[in-house]
Each structure stands twice: as C-alpha cells, then as structure tokens.
Chains A and B, each alone.
Chain A
Amino acid sequence: MLKGYFKVAVRTMLRQRGYSLINIAGLAVGMACCLIITGYIISQLSYDDYHADNDRIYRVDQIERTKSAVSYDANTAPPLGPALLEIFDEVEYAARLLPANRLLKSGDHSAYENKFYYADQDIFNILSFPFLYGDSATALVRPNSIVLTHHVAEKFFGRVNPIGQILTVNDKEFEVTGVIADPPRNSHIICNALASLNYLQDSGIMNHWLFHAFYSYIKLKPGVDASDFGHRIKRIGDKYALDVFNEHGYSYDFVLQAVPDLHLYSHPYIGPEPSGNPLYLYLFGAVGLLVLLIACLNFVNLTTARSMTRAHEIGLRKVVGANRLQLFRQFMGESLLLVFLAAVIALALSEILIPHINAVTGTALETGDFARSELLWVLFGLLVLVGLAAGVYPALFLSRFHPSQMLRGHAQNPTGGMTLRSILVVVQFTISIVLIIGTLAAHRQMAFMQDRDLGMNMERKLVVPVRGGLSLRSNYQEVKNEFLRHPVVTAVSASSEGPGHDLSCLYTKVLDTEEGRVQSIPYIFIDGDYLTQYDIAMIAGRAYQNEFSSDSTDAFIINKSAVAALGFTSPEEALGHRMECGYGDRDGIIIGVTEDFHFMGLQEPIGPLVLAWIPPLLNHLNLTLKANHLRENLEGIKNIWHRLYPDHPFEYYFHEETFNRQYQAEERLGRLFGLFAFLGVMISCLGLLGLVSFMVERRAREIGIRKVLGATVSGVVMLLSRDFAKWILLANLVAWPLAYIAIRRWLNDFAYRINLGFDIFILSGLLVILVALITVSFQSVKAALTNPAEVLKCE
C-alpha cells in the first residue's frame, strides 16, 4: 500500500513538473532561511560553552558611581582578583587579563598583535585553553614567559615546536613556554598571546585601585550560590581603598557576570570582542519564521489550487472503493514527499551559503555545522511540522470530494476557493512589504549616519599608530616635519586614538568652584595642530597653540556638553577655571570650549568630552592627504616611516572607514533585512506564479471565448491582472501601519535619526506591484496570445 502511494506520489509530481518545482523551490528557500537563522542563533547562544565547569566561572565587573554619574565597566583594578581570593573561601581561583598592543618580533619577522594579554597563571584553571605544547600548570609562572596560539606560533616559528624560543615583545625578550589551540570563534575574548602578568609585578600599577584596565575572572567552588556570593562581594573594594575612593569622590559596586552570558548579556559597548544583541536574536528568529510561514502558505495555496484538476481522480478512487482516510493518507504522502525533497535541498543550500552568511552577519558558522546533530534535529522537526501542517489542510480538502461532483464534471467550488487563496497571497505580500520597508528604512538610516556632518572633518585622514614600544615623546616635531615633506601630505597632527574607538574615561574635577563637581569624562589627547586639522570649531576661548608651552602642561579644552556636565552655566563662564584630571593628577586652566561634534557614532547623543594635550599620551599620527590617488601615495609615506623606524612594521587606517565601523551592527541588520525581503518577495512571487497559472488554466475557455468576441491581448492581460493588483494594494494597506510602528520603535534607539517619510512606503509598494505584475504577466500574456481555437475544442 505504501509503495503504491509512493509510486503515485512520484508520478503525480513528475506530471505536474512546473508546480512541483515551484512548490519545492519555495519551500526549500523558506526552510533554508529557517536553518540559517537557527544556525546563527545557536552559534550566538553557544558562546563560551566550551569552557570546563562553565557553570562556575565568572567575570567580575564594576559599577562606578560619582555624585553625578553612574557607569558600568568590565575593566577593573588589578588588586581586585587577589583580594577576592584572599578573603573568600568560596573562590577557588582568581586570575586577571590585561589587554595590550604589543610589537612581537622573532628574527626577521615582526608584527603587531592586537589581541595580546598579560595573564595570571591561574587563568588556565578558569578558562579553557587546550595546550598543544608546554605545560598548562607552569606556563606563565616565570615573569618573562609567553604562551602563543597555534597560528601566531606558526607565523613566527613555522611548524616546529617553539618551546624555549625567544620572542621579543616591544623589544623585551620573552621565552615561549606554551602553545595553545586557536580559540574557537564563539568566545567572548580572543587571546592570541598570553604573557605572564608577573612581568609587571614591580611596576607599581598592580596595587592601584583606580587603574581600571584589567579583566578579573574567578572560579567558584562547587555548590556555591552565585547570586548570594555576588551580593557579598559588592563593596569589597571599600575594605582596601575606601579613603582613595572618597578622596576622588568615587564609589564602586562589584558584580558577577557568568562567563557564558558575557557575549549576549553584557553592556553593549564594553568587552574585548564585539558583543551580540539578544534583541537581534529575537528579531531574526521572527523574520525566519515569517519567511517560512510565507513558504508554507504558498505550499497550501498551490496544492489546494491544483485540486481542481484532481477532482476526477479523487472521485474515481472513491467510486473504486477508497474511503476518506485512505485518500487523506495518499495526499499526506504526496505532501511529505515534496517536503522531504525541499528539506534536502534546503540543507544543501544552507551548507553552500555558509561563507556568504558569515560575510553578511559576521557569524562564525563552519562548513559541516548544519550536519551537526542539533541542527539536524531541528531539520527533522521542521520537516515533520511543515509537512504535517502544510499537508493537512489540502489533504482534508481534497479527500472531501464527492464522486457525483466529479461525474457531473463540475468543480466543487465554482470560484475555486479564490477567497481563501486571495487571503493567503495578501498575507504573503504583506510580510514581504514590511520587510522591504524595513530594509529601505535601515539603509536610509545608515546613509544618514554616514553622510551627516559630524562637526569634524575626517576626510582623507590617514592615521598611523605609533606603538610597539615606540614613542613620539622626544622627537615628535621632527617626525611631523618628515611627513610634511611628502608632497601629498598637507597637515600632520598627533593624538591618541580618536573618534571611532572606545575612548578612555578619566576622573575629572573642577577645583575652584564651591561645588567642585567630579565627573568621569571621555578624553581624547591631542596636540596643537589637531583642532585646525580636523576643522573643529571653537565657540569660546582659543585652541591650543604650539607657541604656548603652557598649553601642553597647564591647559584644558572641553566641548560644549562638558560645560554643563562640569557645572558651568555657559562656555564663557567655564573659561579660566581650573580643573584636574585623573592622569597623574594633572591639572590646568580651561582655555577653550569647542562646538559639540560627534566623537561617537550617531546612535549616541553627544556627551561631554575633554581634549587634553598630554604629550606622553600622543601615540597616533594623523596625516591629511591631498585628494587624488590616496592609496598610491602610501608607498611614499611607508618609506618615510621605515626611514624613521626601520624595525617596526608600518600600519595605518583611514579615519573615516574606522569611524563608520561603528555602524557595523546596523549595516548588518540592513543587509539581513534586505536578504530576507528579497527572499520573501521571491517566494511570494513563486506562489503568485503558481496561482496565476492555475487561474489562467481554469479560465482558459473564458479567455478563448472573449477573444473570439473581440477582446484584445492587452484587454485580456488587464482582466487577469486586475484581481492580483487588488490583492497587492490590500497588502500594502495592511503592511504600512505595521512597518511604521516597528520601524519607529527601532529608530528610537538612535539619538540622531531620519524622518520616516512617506516616500519609503510608496517606493516599497510600487516595487512590489511592479514585481508582481511582471510575474503575473508571464502567464497572462501567454494566455492572451493563445489561439482560441486550441482552447475551445470540444471534449
């Protein structure tokens, strides 16, 4: 019996090749979407699940409070870890990581390593770093020891075991004591090189409770209640440094964050690697389900539409003795066959698309990920679910046919059930239109953010970091002059890492007012040429000038927002006041106030900023280049660099590009929406195509007769297209309010946003109508051109 059903199912499918193809294609695409999104969600949720005992490992973060501000920080002070270990029995291990940029060199090979960390030996007992060479129990005990990841070790030492070899770190010698496996991509922190923290033992910073630059990790003993423990460590800092805190007006609460939660649930702008956003997981999950829904609706629609042509077979089978259940099983079987084929194709499609998915979403899926067990179960679940759900209605519908109707030659439902079909098509297109509007809005917001006047001119700015042990302190004027000699360079300044990067916040106190306000404010360190070079406008006082030597020892410039933050009522009032900052308690007079400019991405409103001239902290050169042939002139600039610093690799980036990287998440969102909008429309059009074919077939005789009576081709096309145009119009009417609400909600998260103008909606509507009409026209034009004689043959 089953074999019989299978045979008929295959033959039926082959007979209706066009429909089967459309059906399978639509369903496969919908399923592939679901699979891909599931893969993405699973990969996001699986961050750091590979660590041993990952229900006991935590990072300790802090909440810093001053009289006027609260801020959350993942970076903590060095004494924290050892303090927790000493006081609390519940702590089994404590270890710290200190991020640094270092120049690594071995023989001729040198390269900067961004993901370089100083680490405590016990970090290997908290986070899992599988050792390929060396001993994890002793690797970082000695001060000048360093552990490398596999690919870094290979870069410097080739494929041999590098244990015992020497690697210089900013010109200091370290011995390689271990090689660890390359960290999996789903890690909240990626360490390419770990040097022993004991190297910094004598440097004096290790006891400083206000030097927040470390990541502090602990591992609790089994059976400890983490939330209870979290409460008990809250004010632990007070035990050691309460007077220091009070002197500066700070207080600190410490909180535990479970390591597996760090990727998704920590505060967005902190943490070593880009974090995920749980909102996006929900969003994509919803979108994936919607696309699958469209595909299923298609399936139901197409299958029931074809039922007209099967009335004959169904009635006949009933005459020959089939009961309703047997017919139901037969049609379910046919559905399941189609669904199975679609699922196989979906799987193959997902695998093939992995590299593209990674590019668009920035995830880390690997080939073969879809063949891993969890996803396969999801696939099966989907299969069964979709097959059952999509197949049930048509199967019920079809098995209801009565033999007498078949014999009379009438369709059961003279309208062919077009009402239900119309509703399904409207739903499909509504979803697609919402997605299209979302895409257009996202792109527009992106373009807006990227094009908006930032209040500073980052065009044609080449930034050259000066690090790896180098410093501009002694010779920075000469260095600038060297670069200015190149014909393409029109201006040079020095600064710290500028806008587009996370800025460090420093403790800032106004010294000579009654209130003596204290704030933690972001700082950019600049020199006398920076403000003119970047076209930053002053609204009070003056800019730094190279002629005044006190500008680099006893002066500060703040921005407009800082004025209010520091307790002044106007920029003019702020001028002349003395303030102190947390860098070695350096103080100075406020000599100027700049206009507010966007030093962070446009998602954030402009906050307070201090632009301080502190020469030791100037570690980037900013070169303004003449407009033409930017990239070609890099050779010349590179040569200048190598003349100055023969042993250090030349690095650079264009400021504008780096700044725009802050919009990466939004860009990805836009791309993903675009992708799904495209898919949604495609599937909907596939469904539309199937339906039009069906409708044309059903009305073939009517069309033939109309033509005989004198209808023109365009008249016929209009006749057929009219119904579809109605549906799409309706879909637009439903989609627009939905899209509007959703997008307003998303835009609210941006401090600077576009106005959601009517044109986006109209554009989307027109786009969809156009695409739909083209789809419909294929079939309707063909029908309109058919010779009536062919159609009107008598049976």
Chain B
Amino acid sequence: MIKMKNISRRYSTGHTHTYVLQNITLDIKPGEFVSVMGPSGAGKSTLLNIIGMLDEASDGEYYFMDETVHELPEKKRSNIYKEHIGFIFQSYHLIDELTVYENLETPLLYKKIKSAQRQSMVCDTLDRFGIVGKKDLFPVQLSGGQQQLVGVARALITGPRLLLADEPTGNLHSEEGKKIMTLFQKLNDDEGVTIIQATHSESNASYGKRLIFLRDGRQVDGI
C-alpha cells in the first residue's frame, strides 16, 4: 500500500538545513498494524504527516496505492487522502464551534454526500461508539477521553482504508487509552483497516504487529 524510498524532510533556517527526516525507506502492506516509535523530536509526527499527505517530502519517492504521490498536484493529493485516509491527532482537534454530531458530519459534507445518507452514517457511527447521548454537546463540554473518541469516530466515518494515529492516547489516562487501543486492534483484525500509529508508549506499541524505530530522523532497526 505504502512504498517510500529515501524520503527526507528538511527545513531551511538561514544558511543551514535542519533535517527532520533523513532517508526513510519503507514498505507497508494493506492490513498491517505498524507502530512508529522513538523519542521526542525523532520525526514520528512528520513521517505520519507525509504519509497522510498533509505535508510534502523534500526529497525521495512516495507511492501510495501505486500512485506517484510526490509528483501529484495538491488537488489530486487532497482527493486521495480525503478518500482513503483517516487521521487521528494527539490533541483531538475537533472544531469547537460544532456539536459532536456536526463534527462527525463535516467530512461527509466535504465529500458531498447527500443529506439522508449523511444522517444515517452519522447515526450509525454515534451508535457504534456509544456516544449517541452526546451528539448535541460541544467539544468543551466533553472530557478528554470522550473528545478523543469523537476524533477517532470522525476519522473513521468515511470508511478509510488507512488510519494514521499520532500519539492517540497521549493525553488520556490508562483506562481510556486502553479502550482506544482495543478499538484499533478490533478494526485491524475484523475489518482489515491498515493502521499506522506514532507513539512512545511501549504498551501502546504492543497492540501493533510491527515496529519501526526512529531516532533523529533516521530509521534504526526494522524495515
């Protein structure tokens, strides 16, 4: 599904370059559950952003489902990730002005899905995640764990084939975190959703089936 060859990401600061990622090469097949591990500043988030097409690599080749992403114009790229990829952030990143229902509905709106179908998809998702009673609340009225749950729900509502999770349980306590990770596992096992998570928690990583280590922007161990 994902093939990366010598991907690098650098920033120009004055006369020098700072490399956040250097020469990353990897191959991820559909249905895998990969954990990217490493200390703070290792480049995990950046890698996830590049995979999710939220950011562009400075060098290297990136193939997503056999599409040559590094050569695609922005519009096409956004179409791909809209279609296939769901993103879960560490700090929930919900739109504060919208209710839970509306937050879930937003990705569907942007895909121009018709009203009746939208309604049924949102209701299904609310039901599945057990948050029906909260549908008219605003994010500020929810607890941390609940907000993250909504974030996961939103990422999944369009039925993406790839789920990218950036420290999904970083701001949660262990109970809530366990719930999320179990959910991920279920998605991967039962529905074959490819999951790539960035984490520095070993217990989280253990839910996955493969490990990639990053340090100072480079891969260490693992393929």
Interface assignment of B109: CB less than 8 Å from any CB of chain A: yes
Interface residues of B in 61-89 (CB under 8 A from A): 75, 78, 82, 87, 89
Contact A313 B102 (CB under 8 A): no
Interface residues of A in 307-365 (CB under 8 A from B): 312-313, 316-323, 326
Contact A313 B87 (CB under 8 A): no
Contact B89 A321 (CB under 8 A): no
Q: Nearest residue in A to B89 (C-beta to C-beta)?
A: A407
In angstroms, Cα B104 to Cα A4, docked, is: 13
Which residues from B are CB-within-8-Å of A319?
54, 87, 93
Contact B110 A407 (CB under 8 A): no
In angstroms, Cα B109 to Cα A63, docked, is: 76
Map CB proximity to B onto A402-423 as digits: 1 under 8 Å, 0 otherwise: 0110010000000000000000
Interface assignment of A1: CB less than 8 Å from any CB of chain B: yes
Which residues from A are CB-within-8-Å of B96?
15, 313
From residue B70, how far is it (CB to closest CB) to chain A in Å?
A: 15
Contact B75 A323 (CB under 8 A): yes
Contact of A320 among B45, B97, B107 (CB under 8 A): B107
Which residues from B are CB-within-8-Å of A312?
93
Contact A317 B49 (CB under 8 A): no
A to B contact number (C-beta, < 8 Å): 52
Map CB proximity to A onto B35-66 as digits: 1 under 8 Å, 0 otherwise: 00000000001000100001100000000000
Interface assignment of B106: CB less than 8 Å from any CB of chain A: yes
From residue B148, how far is it (CB to closest CB) to chain A in Å?
A: 15
Contact A320 B154 (CB under 8 A): yes
Interface assignment of B111: CB less than 8 Å from any CB of chain A: yes
Interface assignment of B95: CB less than 8 Å from any CB of chain A: yes
From residue B143, how far is it (CB to closest CB) to chain A in Å?
A: 17
Contact B106 A318 (CB under 8 A): no
Q: Nearest residue in B to A4 (C-beta to C-beta)?
A: B109
Interface assignment of B98: CB less than 8 Å from any CB of chain A: yes
Interface assignment of A11: CB less than 8 Å from any CB of chain B: yes
Q: Nearest residue in B to A312 (C-beta to C-beta)?
A: B93
In angstroms, Cα B54 to Cα A754, docked, is: 67
From residue A10, how far is it (CB to closest CB) to chain B in Å?
A: 9
In angstroms, Cα B25 to Cα A65, docked, is: 100
Map CB proximity to A onto B99-141 as digits: 1 under 8 Å, 0 otherwise: 0001001110111000000000000000000000000000000
Map CB proximity to B onto A1-26 as digits: 1 under 8 Å, 0 otherwise: 10010011001100100000000000
Q: Nearest residue in A to B54 (C-beta to C-beta)?
A: A403
Q: Nearest residue in A to B92 (C-beta to C-beta)?
A: A316
Q: Nearest residue in B to A15 (C-beta to C-beta)?
A: B97
Contact A8 B98 (CB under 8 A): yes
From residue A568, how far is it (CB to closest CB) to chain B in Å?
A: 87
Contact B78 A323 (CB under 8 A): yes
Contact A8 B97 (CB under 8 A): yes
Contact B97 A11 (CB under 8 A): yes
Contact A323 B97 (CB under 8 A): no
Contact A321 B82 (CB under 8 A): yes
Which residues from A are CB-within-8-Å of B54?
319, 403-404, 407
Total A residues in contact with B, Cβ cutoff 8 Å: 21
From residue A309, how far is it (CB to closest CB) to chain B in Å?
A: 11
Which residues from B are CB-within-8-Å of A4?
102, 105, 109
Contact A321 B49 (CB under 8 A): no
Contact B87 A321 (CB under 8 A): no
From residue B164, how far is it (CB to closest CB) to chain A in Å?
A: 10
What bracket does the count of chain B residues touching chain A fall in? 20 to 34
In angstroms, Cα B45 to Cα A7, docked, is: 33
Map CB proximity to A onto B159-181 as digits: 1 under 8 Å, 0 otherwise: 00000000000000000000000
Q: Nearest residue in B to A327 (C-beta to C-beta)?
A: B110
| A321 and B110 in contact, given A4-B102, A404-B55 (Cβ under 8 angstroms) | yes
Q: Nearest residue in A to B90 (C-beta to C-beta)?
A: A407
In angstroms, Cα B49 to Cα A320, docked, is: 14
Contact B55 A320 (CB under 8 A): no
In angstroms, Cα B96 to Cα A11, docked, is: 10
In angstroms, Cα B89 to Cα A8, docked, is: 22
Interface residues of A in 289-323 (CB under 8 A from B): 312-313, 316-323
Q: Nearest residue in A to B50 (C-beta to C-beta)?
A: A404
Contact of A321 among B75, B93, B94, B111 (CB under 8 A): B111
Contact B49 A322 (CB under 8 A): no
Contact of B95 among A1, A317, A321 (CB under 8 A): A317
Which residues from B are CB-within-8-Å of A407?
45, 49, 54-55, 89
Which residues from B are CB-within-8-Å of A316?
93-95
In angstroms, Cα B107 to Cα A413, docked, is: 27
Which residues from B are CB-within-8-Å of A323?
75, 78, 110
Q: Nearest residue in B to A326 (C-beta to C-beta)?
A: B110
Q: Nearest residue in B to A9 (C-beta to C-beta)?
A: B97
In angstroms, Cα B54 to Cα A321, docked, is: 11
Which residues from A are CB-within-8-Å of B82?
321
Which residues from A are CB-within-8-Å of B98?
8, 11
Contact A317 B106 (CB under 8 A): yes
In angstroms, Cα B49 to Cα A1, docked, is: 28
Which residues from A are CB-within-8-Å of B102?
4, 7
In angstroms, Cα B52 to Cα A404, docked, is: 10
Which residues from B are CB-within-8-Å of A318?
78
| A313 and B95 in contact, given A320-B106, A321-B110 (Cβ under 8 angstroms) | yes
Which residues from B are CB-within-8-Å of A317?
95, 106, 110
Which residues from A are CB-within-8-Å of B89?
407
Interface residues of A in 87-140 (CB under 8 A from B): none
Q: Nearest residue in B to A409 (C-beta to C-beta)?
A: B91
In angstroms, Cα B63 to Cα A613, docked, is: 109
In angstroms, Cα B46 to Cα A407, docked, is: 10
In angstroms, Cα B167 to Cα A407, docked, is: 13
Which residues from B are CB-within-8-Å of A326?
110
Interface residues of A in 413-439 (CB under 8 A from B): none
Contact B109 A1 (CB under 8 A): yes
| A12 and B97 in contact, given A320-B110, A403-B54, A404-B54 (Cβ under 8 angstroms) | yes
Which residues from B are CB-within-8-Å of A8?
97-98
| A321 and B107 in contact, given A403-B54, A404-B54, A404-B55 (Cβ under 8 angstroms) | yes
B residues neighboring A (CB under 8 Å): 45, 49, 54-55, 75, 78, 82, 87, 89, 93-98, 102, 105-107, 109-111, 154, 158
- Taking A8-B98, A15-B97, A321-B106 as known contacts, 6 extra A-B pairs with beta carbons closer than 8 A to each other, sorted by chain A number, are A313-B95, A313-B97, A316-B95, A323-B75, A323-B110, A404-B49
Sample of 15 A–B contacts (CB below 8 Å): A4-B109, A11-B97, A12-B97, A313-B95, A316-B95, A319-B93, A321-B107, A321-B111, A321-B158, A322-B110, A323-B75, A323-B78, A404-B54, A404-B55, A407-B54
A residues neighboring B (CB under 8 Å): 1, 4, 7-8, 11-12, 15, 312-313, 316-323, 326, 403-404, 407
* 10 residue pairs, one from A and one from B, having the closest CB atoms: A321-B110, A404-B55, A321-B82, A11-B97, A320-B107, A403-B54, A322-B110, A321-B107, A316-B93, A404-B54
